[in-house]
């Protein structure tokens, strides 16, 4: 039994393109983001992969990415489960602010700590630890059982909700996860063993050709 789990961060959003903190704000994909999502679908199809079910968040950039990927793969009719547990980390008071302006206001070190540390919250927002506290129970209860039954599962979500998952799958500690960057539109392909640990991981390269 090949227990397939693929994680993909949404394509570039309008806030990404403007260097803004996004969090639970709900911007759409840019043209580049649409292209990234379609390219991810092509790469998965070329790799001979298919899916039985997809999971995504309650935010439109992840939902649109998921739909574009599945459409390219000819899988537009498979079930798609949307849940707030997979939403991006809530950046609280930083949401909508320019990242460079935030650095000027609070300093590079403080903004870096808010963005990359495991357990430091931005004002009014969530830490990565807080994000993991909602993502991981949902993964264990809703996603993992389907993978273990042999269903092929796609998760289209966000940089920090996926960092929380990858931290567990790749067995990273709180220091190592600070350096983890998940690129937009680049699928992470996992195969799981019978004990739910990872037996194989691959990162599909970006489809630079766009076709």
Task: Band the pLDDT of 209: cuts 50, 70, 90.
Answer: very low
Q: Mapped to the 3 state alphabet, what secondary structure does the chain carry?
A: CCEEEEEEECCCEHHHHCCECCCCCCCCECHHHHHHHHHHHHHHHHCCCCCCEEEECCCHHHHHHHHHHHHHCCCCCCCEEECHHHCCCCCHHHCCCEHHHHHHHHCHHHHHHHHHCCCCCCCCCCCHHHHHHHHHHHHHHHHHHHHHCCCCEEEEECHHHHHHHHHHHCCCCCCHHHHCCCCECCCEEEEECCCCCEEEEEECCCCCCCC
**pTM metric for this prediction:** 0.94
User: How much is the pLDDT for 1?
Assistant: 61
Determine the CATH number of domain 3-203: 3.40.50.1240
Q: How confident is the model at residue 206 (pLDDT cuts 50, 70, 90)?
A: confident
Q: Per residue in 19-46, pLDDT tens?
A: 999 999 999 999 999 999 999 999 999 9
Report the pLDDT averaged over residues 112-117.
Answer: 91
pLDDT band at 208 (very low <50, low <70, confident <90, very high): low
Average pLDDT of the residues in 97-110: 95
Is the pLDDT higher at 84 or at 116? Answer: 84
Band of the pLDDT at 107, cuts 50, 70, 90?
very high
Residue 2, pLDDT score: 84
The string of pLDDT tens digits covering residues 49-102 is 999 999 999 999 999 999 999 999 999 999 999 999 999 999 999 999 999 999
- Residues forming the active site: 10, 88
CA-CA distance, 82 to 88, in Å (whole number)? 13
Q: Which of 186, 199, 69, 210 is nearest to 147 (CA)?
A: 199
C-alpha separations of 108 from 62, 95, 111, 113, 186 in Å: 29, 17, 5, 9, 28
From 9-13, 49-53, 178-182, 191-195, the region with the lowest mean pLDDT? 178-182
List, for residues 143-156, the tens digit of each pLDDT value.
Answer: 999 999 999 999 99
- Provide the pLDDT confidence category of residue 109 given band limits of 50, 70 and 90: very high
């Amino acid at each position: 039994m090949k227990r397939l789990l693929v994680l993909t961060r949404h394509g570039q959003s309008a806030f990404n393109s403007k260097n803004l903190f996004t969090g639970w704000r709900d911007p759409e994909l840019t043209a580049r983001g649409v292209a990234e999502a379609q390219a991810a679908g092509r790469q998965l199809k070329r790799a001979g992969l298919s899916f039985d079910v997809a999971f995504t968040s309650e935010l439109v950039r992840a939902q649109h990415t998921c739909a574009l990927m599945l459409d390219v793969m000819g899988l537009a009719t498979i079930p798609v489960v949307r849940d707030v547990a997979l939403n991006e980390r809530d950046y609280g008071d930083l949401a909508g602010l320019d990242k460079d302006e935030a650095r000027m206001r609070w300093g590079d070190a403080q903004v870096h700590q808010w963005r990359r540390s495991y357990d430091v919250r931005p004002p009014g927002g969530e830490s990565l630890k807080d994000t993991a506290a909602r993502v991981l129970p949902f993964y264990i209860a809703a996603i993992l059982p389907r993978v273990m039954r042999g269903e092929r599962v796609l998760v289209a979500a966000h940089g920090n909700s996926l960092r929380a998952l990858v931290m567990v799958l790749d067995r990273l500690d709180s220091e190592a996860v600070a350096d983890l960057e998940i690129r937009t539109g680049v699928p992470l392909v996992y195969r799981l063993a019978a004990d739910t640990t990872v037996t194989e991981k691959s990162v599909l390269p970006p489809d630079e050709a766009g076709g």
